[in-house]
Amino acid sequence: MAPQFTRMTSHAALLLVGDIDTDQIIPARFLKVTSKEGLGANLFSNWRYDAGGAPRPEFSLNRPDAAGAKILIAGPNFGCGSSREHAPWALVDWGLRAVIAPSFADIFRNNALKNGLVPVELERAAHTRLVAACEVDPRLPITVDLEREIVEWPGQAPLGFSVERFARRCLLEGTDELGILLSLAPEIAAYEAARP
């Protein structure tokens, strides 16, 4: 049940906008759901579809090149705003497994890791080089390796990125975080007993 991620190679979809907030990722009108499935159809809905509901051909995720992409490349402060975990659910349901950006908002980063969506923080210069390489070759195969904590693509030496140690271990092992918390039952009971 817990997600697992070791490494993955895929081409990327590009959405080079900064401060993409979770209302753009999944607008609030799509949060009226009681399950996690099917949100991919509404991913970036306000940008992706026109007033009549038809896909806008110029939106990057609608372009033929983006089909099947497991990586999204975005601008800084990705995932800011609302804490809705529906944002990573929608991204994952669409088919994404990693987002590469210069920075991420905290709550989003945390939610993404819990859903097997790896937030890859790449410093500016490297991010710019990657974008340039993708613009030359939209099907550029990019490898995100969580075990070695590197990103690489043809013509680029491996670039390091860092994921918090525990979150990385959970993803590599497919560890269920709730299982870890439940195993702390004695400590929780002791804490509660000491505080009326």
Contacting positions for other proteins (CB under 8 A)? 17-19, 21, 23-24, 27-29, 31-36, 46, 51, 75-77, 80-86, 103, 105-107, 110-111, 114-115, 164-166, 169, 177-178, 180-182, 184-185, 187-188, 191-192
| Cβ 139 to other proteins shortest distance, Å | 25
Q: CB 68 → other proteins: shortest distance, Å?
A: 27
Minimum gap (Å) between residue 18 Cβ and other proteins: 5
Shortest distance, position 188 Cβ to other proteins, whole Å: 6
In the bound state with other proteins, the residue whose beta carbon lies nearer, of 11 and 85, is 85
Half-sphere exposure of 132 (CA within 13 A, CB side): 8
Residue 32 or 64: the one with the smaller Cβ distance to other proteins is 32
3-class secondary-structure state, position 162 = coil
- 45 Cβ neighbours under 8 A, 6+ residues apart: 26, 27, 30
Evaluate whether 41 touches 154 at the Cβ level (below 8 Å). no
Of 24 and 143, the one with the shorter C-beta distance to other proteins is 24
CA distances from 187 to 3, 175, 178, 181, 195 (A): 26, 20, 15, 10, 13
Nearer to other proteins, 17 or 67 (CB): 17
How far apart are alpha carbons 191 and 196 in whole angstroms?
A: 10
